Structure 1
Amino acid sequence: MQMTSMRRLMAGAALTVLPAGAMAADLEVTHWWTSGGEAAAVQELARIFTEQTEYTWVDGAIAGSGSTARPIMVSRIIGGDPMGATQFNHGRQAQELVEAGLMQDLTEVAEANGWAEFINPPSLLEACTLDGRIYCAPINIHSPQWMWTSHAAFEAAGVEPATNWEELKAAAPALREAGILPLAQGMQGWQTSLLLNAMVSGIGGADFYLQVYEAREEEALNSDTMRQIWEELAVARELSQGGNLSDWNMATNRLIEGTAAAQVMGDWAQGEFALAGQTAGTDYGCNIGLGGEPYIATGGDAIYFPVNSDAAVTEAQMALANVITGPEAQVAFNAAKGSLPIRGDIDLTEVNACTQQGLETLAAGNTIPSIDMLLSSDTRGQIEDLTAEFFGSSLSAEDAHNRYVQIVMSEM
């Protein structure tokens, strides 16, 4: 693989990492968990870390989505101003930082605490592993293949809550007549591409999803199924017209208010429903996939620890890696955030109906790799830009599909 300019910069920076300047008992943690539900989950982590160790969590929240926060995080690390710990998604986002020697090796703490024995599915730990060494601590499983529905919105329109994509389309006229937005869709590229990818797995199925994003088969990319998916994305564009939404939690809030009927979004939306005091199955519905056999992508978040010359910071880093993979933090954080835990050995019998549905899907082995594990950041970014353009313009499904094929094929 040819070394990129970013990698050359990081290779040079690997020898010039400076002390963080934080007090020995403090550990700065950067992340983009800033919505109401996410902030509540972070507070649980900070509380447990402080209670279980001699160190203090110093919160370094960065407003905006991951696409906004990640460049800031990377810039600090390669610039010699590393934080104590930082969030990245499972997959290849931090690979170049690891290859440049800028991330702590967690293999010893992972082996001492038996991570391989309880982290489930094993692909989560594999995503943290490079050349047999472990460089991150998985913290949750997030799947983006969920369609959330507002029971109040469907009731106001006099129709039954949709349980799949076809039922949502059928209910759209009645919803519009009642002044309700059929589909709450944030217009940021990561959200529009999330919907596209949910359709690839939900309409195309798990095998088709793998043909497109893992094997990148030209026949699958040019198939009638993929053409249909882009036509359905054009339908979604119509269903979301008039929403004028940006952030994902603004879209979720429309469901909470009952002014929008559905949203295709990751399971982190549950944190917003919980914060608003809403109950799964009563106030809101949840459906994995868009009508086909339910599959969830086992992506999510992991914590990485930049190399630091301060031994006290390094000790605090190892302590946090141990805490966030422990049973107490796994239950508290994921219950607040709406995600699934990375441990397969904890009691979750009291979780709500939607989380239970996710756990059952995971237990059945109905899982697919996340996009972060299959495509480079550059390819994902191009898909995000294309889908954002598609939703913000009159670009035809046919033209968008043709451009999409070229983007995915360029990964090869």
Structure 2
Amino acid sequence: MEVMHWWTSGGEAAAVGKFAEALNERTEHTWIDGAIAGGGDTARPVMVSRIIGGDPPAAFQFNHGRQAEELIEAGLMLDLTDVAEAEGWKDIVNPSSLLDACTYEGRIYCAPVNIHSWQWMWLSNDAYEQAGVEVPTNWSEFMETAPALREAGIVPLAMGGQSWQQSGAFGVMAIALAGEEAWLAVNRDKDADVVMGPEYTRVFEAFGAARELAEGLDVQDWNQATNAVIEDTAGAQIMGDWAQGEFAVAGEVAGEDYSCLAGLGETGVLSTGGDAFYFPVTGDPEVEAAQKELAALLLSPEVQVAFNSAKGSLPIRGDVDLTSVNECTEVGLQLLADGKTLPDGNMLLSPDTTTQTNDLMTEFWNTPSMTPAEVQERYAEIIRNAD
């Protein structure tokens, strides 16, 4: 069974290997790895091309949300409702919004496998020790300590060159600095007036400051930026909890080698995005049976624990126990248990709108002459016309 995905960093490869192991050892099928380097923006068009070109894989990874909506509408995705009902997914998937994101006109078309949240900042403890300052506990303190990092020859903020990284960091800053209500008004209600209001003005100004703090590190991939934090050449990175997989592969210990701030230390909340697997329609009953077997396997308790422990994400099952987790994962689990969650932006914005915001944020990031006020105006226009 060829399975396409974009998990190619060290931590990601270790995690997806848990899925492959489970399929190979527990079924009569064989996992053929179809990894595509370059992240989702690179991989998704390749996957879609394969599907509409009549050469689909057995399964493929997308994010929770609206990315596969057109494929479902075209009748190209396998209906998994019978698997979901037999396995009791409605009773075990937590939060329920993750299964809702797989549901179209009352039918279930994907298997959610994890909860990933963008709402994290990762900090190098040693970098701050070298700079002679305490590790920040919130965004304001991070800004105050940035000059000391510069003086010590350390780049304050690690940022890769891909548009989704810059746009994702902006989203984290929006929730942390503008607040949950303002963020929902923009992303859920498409309220452009809120974009132009004082809450979001603060965000755009902070994003402009972040652009300056990232100067001096020239990397492309997100895991290269994470590695700068691991090697203590950068002070911090705004990145989703998948970064923990990189820290784990490097032998880094949470609380000793690195620290984590949920919601930049300003807003304790998780955006509950993540990954799901879809299964193209093939017309072959044997392939369909194998696809449904894999779908059920991905949500089985043992596989959920093995995969998510390696990935740095949280399991989508509310009935499994991650007995040995680090303090950062504990924070995430507590936020989830307390219901401190928000839907991921991918669940609220169409792929077209997301592409527009990604393009705008990377243009701003790479154009020093563009002011925060200018990008704010253009962002408001995108939201005003969002679908």
Instruction: Please state which band the TM-score falls in when normalised by the shorter chain.
Output: over 0.9
2:377 aligned residue: 402
Distance (Å, rounded) in 1 between the aligned partners of 2:309 and 2:64:
20
- Secondary structure of the residue aligned to 2:50 is helix
1:90 maps to 64
Q: Of 80, 90, 94, which aligns to 1:106? A: 80
Q: CA deviation at 1:293?
A: 2.5
How far does the alpha carbon of each residue in 1:349-398 deviate from its partner, in whole angstroms, 9 at most, with x for none? 32111111111011111111101000011111111111101111121111
2:314 and 2:248 map into 1 onto residues whose CA distance is 15
SS in 1 for 2:264: coil
Q: Would you say 1:171 and 2:116 are equivalent positions?
A: no
- Contact kept? 1:187, 1:391, Cα under 8 Å: no
Query: Partner amino acid for 2:364?
Result: F
Match of 2:248 among 271, 274, 277: 274
CA deviation after TM superposition for structure 1 residue 158, in Å: 0.8
Deviation at 1:52, TM superposition (A): 1.3
RMSD value over aligned CA atoms? 0.8
Match of 2:18 in 1: 44
2:173 alignment counterpart? 199
Structure 2 CA distance, aligned partners of 1:229 and 1:298?
21
Instruction: Specify the code of the residue in structure 2 equivalent to 1:112.
Output: A
Q: What is the identity, as a one-letter code, of the residue corresponding to 1:99? A: E
Does the 8 Å CA contact 1:286/1:354 hold for their aligned counterparts? yes
Matched residue of 1:306: which SS?
Answer: coil
1:129 correspondence with 2:103: yes
Q: Which residue number in structure 2 is paired with residue 240 of structure 1?
A: 214
User: How far did 1:224 drift?
Assistant: 1.0
Report matched runs for 1:240-389 at 5 Å: 240-389=214-363
Work out whether residues 309 and 322 of structure 2, in 8 Å CA contact, stay in contact via their aligned partners in 1: no
Q: Deviations over 1:278-307 (max 9, x none)?
A: 111111111111232311111000000000
2:19, 2:303 within 8 Å by CA — same for their partners in 1? yes
Tell me, in whole angstroms, the C-alpha distance in 1 between the residues paired with 2:58 and 2:267.
41
Residue equivalent to 2:36: 62
Q: Kindly provide the CA deviation profile for residues 133-178 of structure 1, in whole angstroms up to 9, marking residues without a partner as x.
A: 1000000011001000011111111111112111111111110111
Residues 233-271 of structure 1 show CA distances to partners (whole Å, capped at 9, x for unaligned) of 010001000111211000000011011110000000000
Q: SS where residue 286 of structure 1 aligns?
A: strand
In structure 1, C-alpha distance between the alignment counterparts of 2:180 and 2:338, rounded to whole Å: 14
Map 1:134-213 to 2 at 5 A. Answer: 134-213=108-187
- Does structure 1 conserve the Cα–Cα contact (< 8 Å) formed by 2:175 and 2:267? no
**Structure 2 contact 5–43 (Cα < 8 Å) conserved:** yes
CA distance in 2, matches of 1:132, 1:334: 28
Distance in 1 (CA, whole Å) between partners of 2:258 and 2:145 is 16
SS in 2 for 1:163: coil
Contact 1:216 1:409 in 2 (8 A): yes
Distance 1:349 1:210 in 2: 34
Q: Contact (CA 8 Å) 1:189, 1:385: kept in 2 or not?
A: yes
Alignment correspondent of 2:91: 117
With normalisation by structure 2, the TM-score equals 0.98
Give the conservation status (yes or no) of the 8 Å contact 2:24–2:30: yes
Shift, 1:187, TM fit: 2.2
Query: AA paired with 2:385?
Result: S
Any stretches of 5+ residues in structure 1 without a counterpart?
A: 1-26
1:12-35 deviations in whole A, cap 9, x for unaligned?
xxxxxxxxxxxxxxx100000000
TM-score of the aligned structures, taking structure 1 as reference length:
0.93
Equivalent AA in structure 2 for residue 376 of structure 1: S
1:262 is paired with a residue whose SS is strand
SS state at 2:33 partner: strand
SS in 2 for 1:86: strand
Give the secondary structure class of the aligned counterpart of 1:155: helix
Hey, what's the Cα distance between the residues in 1 that align with 2:349 and 2:78?
Answer: 24
Q: Give, in angstroms, the shift of residue 345 of structure 1.
A: 0.2
In 2: Cα distance, 1:162 partner to 1:53 partner: 48
> Gapped runs of 5+ residues in structure 2?
none
1:314-371: CA deviation from partner (whole Å, max 9, x where unpaired): 1110111011000111001111010010000011232111111111011111111101
Deviations 1:25-70 (A, max 9, x none): xx10000000000000011110011111111111000011100000
- Contact 2:117/2:241 (8 A) holds in 1: yes
What SS does the aligned partner of 2:4 have? strand
Counterpart-to-counterpart distance in 2, 1:170 and 1:108: 55
